[in-house]
């Protein structure tokens, strides 16, 4: 393992010329803005997050506004980012901060970790980025940089690997310019020390990087062992009233797309037309199958078989609180695959 501990000095010098210093959550930099950005950046790249962040801030400019907002509104502004539990946790955490901390996000790592959706690395990033106070981080980019530089074998998620890297993160994090350092190590991992084809000659740490010296950049860190994702199937009803209105149904709060609006899902053992009458109080006049749509989740693939049903008499719809008609061109907050499905519907029924 590499014994040198001057990573911070070299990273900070590199950051002056090459770091990302114009991200929207950095101007102005506040606990709330940094927190929202860190949650959005979990599992999502910076380029994707920027537009969502700006729109989210325009609608929810402070923690009180977010805490008081209807859940549907929060989910609508998250729609398309995926991993929707992040949005539910963010909303719940905002309410907790208002109730327990007077609307001020705490700067203490342990206090931050009591909030839904905030783990050790996210808490460290918030403390470092928002308050410029010492705290180590260990997101995917920082793991890769530290593992390669120090020659730590193992794969993300393995207990021994994670423990070793947390010790290194604590050792390498400086007590001054902490916000710049944490941004620098994340930027280095995102731009030079990338998972594939790292640009080692341009890296400020390459002179004594163990992985580079040994030619093992593509071995460190080891890849996670991925299981083959099973394929699941579901049938969803595209119930159309007139030329433009589609019926949407709110998903249960738990499970995939929890709390979002989607299309009614038919149980596998039920006849779609019969279920439509029994569960929704609707009698479709015409039924046709549409092209299946496939969407990948972390642990499985989902194939959606859409069934288009034209409905003339919609007066008998049941469970009105969880069902609503919307113009196909202005759907509520829906998951990305549902939005794609709606966009490709034919213009006329």
| pLDDT at res. 317 | 60
- As beta bridge partners, residue 237 has 307
Residues 185, 267 within the same domain: no
Q: What are the Cα distances from residue 322, in Å, to 248, 263, 325? A: 8, 11, 11
Judge if 304 and 184 occupy the same domain. Answer: no
Block residue for tokens 């929890």: 258
Which of 127, 159, 191 finishes a domain? Answer: 191
pLDDT of residue 178: 96
Domain co-membership, 177 together with 243: no
pLDDT tens track, the chain, 349 positions: 655 557 999 999 999 999 898 999 999 999 999 999 999 999 888 999 999 999 999 999 999 999 999 988 998 899 888 888 899 999 999 999 999 999 999 999 999 999 999 999 999 999 999 999 999 999 999 999 999 999 999 998 899 999 999 999 999 999 999 999 999 999 999 999 999 999 999 999 999 999 999 999 999 999 877 778 899 999 999 998 888 889 999 888 877 888 888 999 999 889 988 898 888 888 887 788 899 999 888 788 899 999 998 887 655 565 566 888 888 888 887 888 998 898 888 765 4
CATH number, domain with residue 113: 1.10.340.30
> Same domain for 187 and 299?
no
- Tell me if 216 is assigned to some domain: no
180 and 284 belong to one structural domain: no
Q: Do residues 183 and 260 both lie within one domain?
A: no
Report pTM.
Answer: 0.79
Same domain, 288 and 186: no
- Asked if residue 220 belongs to a domain, the reply is no
Domain finish residue from 191, 222, 255: 191
| Beta-bridge partners for 235 | 266, 305
Residue 90 lies in a domain: yes
Identify whether residues 61 and 181 lie together within a single domain.
Answer: yes
Q: What CATH number is associated with residue 333?
A: 3.90.79.10
- Answer yes or no: is 254 within a domain: yes
For 167-206, letters b (16+ CB in 10 Å) and e give ebbeebbbeebbbbbbbbbbbbbbbbbeeeebebeebbbb
CA distance 70 to 192: 41
Cα–Cα distance for residue pair 216/198, rounded to 1 Å: 11
Residues 107 and 181 in one domain: yes
Same domain, 119 and 259: no
Say whether 38 is catalytic.
yes
The reply to whether 29 falls in a domain is yes
Query: Does any domain span residue 157?
Result: no
- Does 11 lie in the same domain as 118? yes
How confident is the model at residue 280, as a pLDDT?
A: 87
At residue 349, the pLDDT reads 47
CA–CA separation, 23 and 46 (whole Å): 9
**pLDDT in the model for residue 315:** 55
Q: Select which of 16, 38, 68, 312 is catalytic.
A: 38
* pLDDT score, position 320: 60
Q: What is the pLDDT of residue 216?
A: 95
Domain membership flag for residue 52: yes
Q: Are residues 117 and 187 in the same domain?
A: yes
Residue 26 in any domain: the answer is yes
Range of the domain at 264: 231-343
Question: What is the count of structural domains for the chain?
Answer: 2
Rounded-to-integer distance, Cα 137 and Cα 183, Å:
10
Alpha carbon distance 205, 207 (integer Å): 6
């Amino acid at each position: 393992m590499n014994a040198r501990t001057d990573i911070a000095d070299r990273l900070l010098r590199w950051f002056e010329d090459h770091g990302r210093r114009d991200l929207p959550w950095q101007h102005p930099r506040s606990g709330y803005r940094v927190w929202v950005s860190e949650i959005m950046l979990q599992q999502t790249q910076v380029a994707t997050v920027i537009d969502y962040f700006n729109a989210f801030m325009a609608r929810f400019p402070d923690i009180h506004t977010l805490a008081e907002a209807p859940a549907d509104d929060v989910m609508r502004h998250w729609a398309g980012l995926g991993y929707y539990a992040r949005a539910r946790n963010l909303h719940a955490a905002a309410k907790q901060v208002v109730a327990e901390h007077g609307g001020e996000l705490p700067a203490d790592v342990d206090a931050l970790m009591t909030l839904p959706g905030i783990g050790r690395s996210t808490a460290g990033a918030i403390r470092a980025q928002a308050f410029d106070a010492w705290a180590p981080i260990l997101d995917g980019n920082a793991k890769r940089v530290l593992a390669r530089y120090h020659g730590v074998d193992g794969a993300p998620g393995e207990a021994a690997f994670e423990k070793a890297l947390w010790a290194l993160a604590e050792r390498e994090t400086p007590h001054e310019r902490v916000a710049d350092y944490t941004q620098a190590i994340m930027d280095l991992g995102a731009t030079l020390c990338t998972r594939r084809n790292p640009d080692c000659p341009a890296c400020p740490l390459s002179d004594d990087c163990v992985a580079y010296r040994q030619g093992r950049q593509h071995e460190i860190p080891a890849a996670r062992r991925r299981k083959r994702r099973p394929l699941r199937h579901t049938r969803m009803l595209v119930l159309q009233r007139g030329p433009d209105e589609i019926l949407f149904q709110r998903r249960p709060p738990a499970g995939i797309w929890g709390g979002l609006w989607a299309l009614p899902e038919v149980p596998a053992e039920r006849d779609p037309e019969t279920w439509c009458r029994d569960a929704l109080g609707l009698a479709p006049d015409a039924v046709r199958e549409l092209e299946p749509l496939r969407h990948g989740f972390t642990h499985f693939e989902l194939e959606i078989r859409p069934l288009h049903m034209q409905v003339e008499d919609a007066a008998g719809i049941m469970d009105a609180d969880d069902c609503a008609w919307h113009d196909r061109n202005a759907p509520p907050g829906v998951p990305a695959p549902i939005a794609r499905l709606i966009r490709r519907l034919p213009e006329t029924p």
